[in-house]
Structure 1
Amino acid sequence: MRFSLDPEIIDFAASIDSLLAKSDMPSVIRAWSAGDTGPGTTVWGRVAETGAAALLIDEDAGGAGATAVEAVVALEVMGRYAVPGPVTESVMVAPRIAAALNATAPDTAGELAGGAFASVAVPGVSPFAPDAHVAAHLWIADDDKVFTGEAGEARRSVDRARTVTTPTRGDQVGAASTVDLVNHGALGTAAQLMGLGRAMLDMSVDYATQRSQYGKVIGQYQALKHQLAEVAIALEMARPLLWAGALAVAENPDDPAAAVRDVSAARVAVADAAYLSARTALQIHGAIGYTLEHDLGLLLTKTRALQTAWGTQSYHRGRVLDSLESAR
């Protein structure tokens, strides 16, 4: 089967890419790391104006009524630029909660479509709510129930532009499939990691064609070419799994269990590929790549932080194994 994106989706991704390319994202991320979230929220507002925040919001609630495929496309671009904030939670997870709360809180979906940040924690899988200090909504999802959350002490992640907190559970406000929310969170995280992996690969290739050692451009060394080729192969081999996960979610809106295998397989493959890209990029750049002054460091730390967001690698491998065994 051949999978190809509609031209409209490609143009949509290009519009987000163009917006972020003009936004001086390294400066935005560094400001967020220093506690100034103003530039970041301004950028997020512009992203929301493209319709990215409203992709999974129903049309009758002011959204686009799109599928996980379009959301993955948008999130990969945002991952490429390491957009700060609870991006996956706002684009992928919160709309599913908003749909479940439509009867009791009908304005929530509209707020999300307009660019309001939301943060979500799922005890046992993703217990830390990211960037709750900028979130208009903070929820805890557990055992197919949704509760309000009250942020606890904020702690810095390995990514300096990311804080996490263990929220305190409040009142139950609705019911939503926890499996569905985890699927959406894991898929969105995989999309961000794919963008990060590609960005680090491109940065490594550019650096390898500029840096000279012993009178020779390092990109001419065969060993280094092999390393970069392995990263490119890993990312491209993971991409079909990412699309399979998006399609599984899109085609099984009322049966999230049917999408578990494909979503978790995508999450594992993309996270492994992104981590390989990060390791290779650091080897090629040397120690300077991990300094606060170099832009690569912003991507490295975000990749590391997202490795355990919405489930660890072991958790998702377990879900794949359980799915295969139950099918057999």
Structure 2
Amino acid sequence: MDFRILEERLELAEAVRDYLAGTHGPEVLRRLDVRKARDPQIWSGLVEMGLTRLLVPEDHGGLGLDLLDAALIARECGRVALAEPLVDTAFVAVPWLIARGEETDLAAIASGEKAFAPAHSVNAWQADGSCDRLESVDPLRRLSRLPEDASDDRLLLDIGALMAAAQLVGLGEAMLDQAIEYSKIREQFGQQIGGFQAIKHKLADVALALEFARPVIWRAAQAMVDGLTSASLHVSHAKVAATDAAMLSAESAIQVHGAMGYTYEVDLHYWMKRCWALAGAWGAQAFHQNRVDDAVLSDRHPIGPQHTFA
């Protein structure tokens, strides 16, 4: 059995990474933060690259790809702490609308004319909604009060949690990279702090947590694509693993920076705040841990390799 992700999928994600690295760096985050407004040019670039069309069926002007492709690219969105509502619109709303047979807005979403972030009752807010504005720990997010007609659909919850998990891993990777780079230039006792065993072990623990979280996310995405009855279990497992890894990365990066990561002067705080925000989005840690516990302790999803690879 071959568990490797197809090369063309990885190449697409790598192309998105290269594009975002050149158009959405820390200086862009600071500019958006100061202006308290989004830049239409950024959204136009995402549309031109075809990312709003990723999951839209071909007969509606899309590319017709699936949730695994979306998860790979959501990870890249996390790596740059993307401020635009690409993930909520193109990777969460689109597959949910398709599953519901609501295809009216798909062409408008594919062309970038419409952004739509669905509201779910598991959240205490709606992203980019029209109700009263709410404050977020992340200054680059736009949140509003949850509308009364918010959905309680499990499929929407699973898609949202999956994409949050993918972004969390990307955030964790970016914070690890920043910590490594800082450890190369910061000196104490006449040498770079990256040479100290305590720093090496701390960052190695983060790298290990991220390494174990990534395949859990890809498995959850494929389980949803395949329509497995265990898909919700895999999604919750992914959200727990990704949150743990990203929070460890944030904590460790702050410590490597000597706690300066908390300050506005250090770019790290943007990734850290997005991590905090997504950790509680689409079901907090306790919610997903309980879903995993309930599944494992019941007879619905027996554990063991004979069942895992059936």
TM-score (norm 2): 0.90
Structure 1 pair 47–265 and aligned structure 2 pair: CA distance change class (3 A): same
Root-mean-square deviation over aligned CA pairs: 2.0
Deviation sequence 1:220-250 (CA, Å, 0-9, x none): 1111111001000001011111111011011
**Cross-structure match for 2:265:** 293
Structure 1 pair 101–310 and aligned structure 2 pair: CA distance change class (3 A): same
Deviation sequence 1:87-118 (CA, Å, 0-9, x none): 33112221034325656x62x00111122322
AA matched with 1:158: V
Structure 1 pair 270–54 and aligned structure 2 pair: CA distance change class (3 A): same
**Cross-structure match for 1:139:** none
**Cross-structure match for 1:7:** 7
8 Å Cα contact 1:130/1:163 also seen in 2: yes
Candidates 139, 144, 157, aligned match of 1:165: 144
Give secondary structure in 2 for the equivalent of 1:129: strand
Give secondary structure in 1 for the equivalent of 2:230: helix
Give secondary structure in 2 for the equivalent of 1:196: helix
Deviation sequence 1:143-187 (CA, Å, 0-9, x none): xxxxxxxx22212211111132123336x9xxx981111111000
8 Å Cα contact 1:119/1:130 also seen in 2: yes
**1:308 matched to 2:280:** yes
How much does 1:35 deviate? Answer: 4.3
Larger strand percent: 1
User: What pairs with 1:207-222 in structure 2 (closer than 5 Å)?
Assistant: 207-222=182-197
Deviation sequence 1:239-295 (CA, Å, 0-9, x none): 11111101101111xx6x531010110110011000000000000012322222211
Between stretches 5-14 and 189-198, larger displacement belongs to: 5-14
How many residue pairs get aligned? The number is 299
8 Å Cα contact 2:237/2:292 also seen in 1: yes
**Cross-structure match for 2:306:** none
Candidates 128, 131, 144, aligned match of 1:131: 128
8 Å Cα contact 1:82/1:298 also seen in 2: yes
**Cross-structure match for 1:140:** none
**Cross-structure match for 1:37:** 37
**Cross-structure match for 1:119:** 117
**1:48 matched to 2:47:** yes
**Cross-structure match for 1:244:** 219
8 Å Cα contact 2:162/2:220 also seen in 1: yes
Structure 1 pair 24–317 and aligned structure 2 pair: CA distance change class (3 A): closer
User: What pairs with 1:158-197 in structure 2 (closer than 5 Å)?
Assistant: 158-169=137-148, 178-197=153-172
Candidates 249, 270, 275, aligned match of 1:277: 249
**1:321 matched to 2:300:** no
How much does 1:212 deviate? Answer: 0.3
AA matched with 1:94: A
Structure 2 unaligned regions, length at least 5: 303-310
Identity percentage of aligned residues: 36
How much does 1:82 deviate? Answer: 0.4
User: What pairs with 1:145-156 in structure 2 (closer than 5 Å)?
Assistant: 151-156=130-135
AA matched with 1:304: W
Structure 1 pair 49–101 and aligned structure 2 pair: CA distance change class (3 A): farther
AA matched with 2:234: D
Deviation sequence 1:272-322 (CA, Å, 0-9, x none): 000000000000012322222211111111111111011101111111122
| Structure-2 separation of matches of 1:244 and 1:181 | 18
| Structure-1 separation of matches of 2:26 and 2:10 | 25
Deviation sequence 1:167-224 (CA, Å, 0-9, x none): 3336x9xxx9811111110000001011000111111111111110111110111111
TM-score (norm 1): 0.85
AA matched with 2:225: A
**1:28 matched to 2:28:** yes
**Cross-structure match for 1:84:** 83
Give secondary structure in 2 for the equivalent of 1:122: coil
Give secondary structure in 1 for the equivalent of 2:123: coil
| Structure-1 separation of matches of 2:241 and 2:194 | 27
**Cross-structure match for 1:18:** 18
AA matched with 2:83: P
| Structure-2 separation of matches of 1:168 and 1:38 | 23
How much does 1:129 deviate? Answer: 0.7
**Cross-structure match for 2:178:** 203
| Structure-2 separation of matches of 1:81 and 1:102 | 33
AA matched with 2:218: W
Structure 1 unaligned regions, length at least 5: 133-150
8 Å Cα contact 2:134/2:145 also seen in 1: no
AA matched with 2:95: R
